[in-house]
Structure formats: structure tokens, C-alpha cells
Amino acid sequence: MIALIPAAGSGSRMVSVTPKQYLDLAGKPLIWHTLSALVKVAELDRIVVVISPEDEWWGSFDWSEFKRLDVLRCGGASRAESVLNGLHALQGPDDWVLVHDAARPCLDPALVSQMIAELANHPVGGILAVPVADTLKLAQAGQHIAHTHPRDGLWQAQTPQMFRVVQLAHALAIGMGPDITDEASALEKLGLQPKLIMGSPWNLKVTYPQDLRLAELILAAAAR
């Protein structure tokens, strides 16, 4: 199976010129940790990273320790475009693809193997996710609460997200738009129902500057 890693974002919410996937995390670029987790997943034959055509950072690091790794300079204007461009560039007979954000460096490889086993015979595919724990408020103008949204049945999507290459490329191509913020949303637009697989609160997406410190603590705890 192939893992496709969208890594073409600019990380505007990190307030940093360097895209977040290259920021220092425990002495390595953040994406190094993501790749390090994925190479431990025995079911993955190949890991393909999609970076921006204008990327100036990838070439400044040595990635030779990662075998089965390819990089494609075909990132697009949105995450969905980066994934779709990456899927078009994939060659080979692979049925499934596992899409994982470069910005989730604390992934547990064992969770990925579990997910692959659980979805092997699923007609659609699925995603890692965790049930929403907090009470949810809908905000109206002036940052006042319009109402409390029931959290029953609500899950927070994570990655990896695992789908069939051909079906995902089709769904992204016809569904492309600002509402497609993950792979599952493109499949849902076709009326399909991806499976929710219990993820982990440790599978943090680094989005804001303070997340780097959290990610460092999670990685340190996992190494113990």
C-alpha cells in the first residue's frame, strides 16, 4: 500500500516564514517525525510526499535514511488539490492509498496497522477520528453564543484516511471546493459512508505555535 503525505501547505497559522512541516521539533524537521512513524508501518510499500513546486526547504535536509520514499513537487493551492495532484502522479497497481498530513508527527504506527486491517474488506474506506469531548457553541456576531450544538455523534476527523486510489481521485476531481477539507468529505459528497475508526488524542495536528511544544511532549512520552 502507498502512503501519500500532503506537505505543500504554507502553515499561515503558525506565524512563521518556514512552513510548519519544516519547523524544528525535537531537533529534526517536523515532517521527519511523520515519516519516521510511517516507515515503521510494515504494510506500507512506498511513501510519497507532495511538496509545493516552489518549496525551498525539502532539499536542505538529508532524507536518505528513509527507504521507499519519493517526493513529488506537485502541490496545489489547497490540501485537496495537493492530494489529487499526488494521486494523478502515482503509478502502479495499488488499490488503496493512505493519506496522512505531514503536520501530524505523533502518529502511532500500531494504530495505522490496526486501521489497515480493519478496513481491508470495507467497501468505501475510512478515517481515524476521535469523539468530540467539549461542549460546542455556535457563535454569532460579536462572539456571542447563538446556541449549544449537541455533541452526540460528533467526531473530530484525523488522518490517516484510507480510500481506494481510483475512487478517491474521482471524488476529489468532481467534488473539489472549499468544503472539501479532508478525503472523507469528498467521498461523502458522492453519498458514500466512510467508516470512523477510533484514533488517538495524541495524534495532534500541529497548527498553532504552541502545538510544537505539545508535540514535543507527546513524542518524548512515546519514546519512554
Binding site for ligand C5P (CB under 6 A): 6-9, 21, 50, 75-79, 82, 101-103, 205, 207
Nearest residue to ligand C5P, scored by beta-carbon proximity: 9
By beta-carbon proximity to ligand C5P, the closer residue of 78 and 156 is 78
By beta-carbon proximity to ligand C5P, the closer residue of 48 and 119 is 48
DSSP 3-state assignment of 215?
helix
Q: What is the nearest approach in angstroms of ligand C5P to the Cβ of residue 152? A: 26
CA distance linking residue 203 with residue 158, whole number of Å: 7
CA distance linking residue 191 with residue 204, whole number of Å: 28
Q: What is the nearest approach in angstroms of ligand C5P to the Cβ of residue 86? A: 8
Q: What is the nearest approach in angstroms of ligand C5P to the Cβ of residue 5? A: 7
Are the beta carbons of 6 and 86 closer than 8 angstroms? yes
By beta-carbon proximity to ligand C5P, the closer residue of 140 and 207 is 207
Compute the chain's Rg from CA coordinates.
Answer: 17
Q: Report residue 52 CA to chain centroid gap.
A: 16
Q: What is the nearest approach in angstroms of ligand C5P to the Cβ of residue 51? A: 8
By beta-carbon proximity to ligand C5P, the closer residue of 50 and 106 is 50
CA distance linking residue 87 with residue 126, whole number of Å: 17
By beta-carbon proximity to ligand C5P, the closer residue of 6 and 125 is 6
By beta-carbon proximity to ligand C5P, the closer residue of 16 and 122 is 16
Tell me the DSSP string of 166-211. HHHHHHHHHH-STT--SHHHHHHHTT--PEEEE--TT-----SHHH
Q: What is the nearest approach in angstroms of ligand C5P to the Cβ of residue 114? A: 22
Amino acid letter, residue 12: S
Pairing mode of beta strands 69-72, 24-25 = unpaired
Q: What is the nearest approach in angstroms of ligand C5P to the Cβ of residue 102? A: 4
- The Cβ of residue 200 has, within 10 Å, a number of other Cβ atoms equal to 14
Are the beta carbons of 5 and 100 closer than 8 angstroms? yes
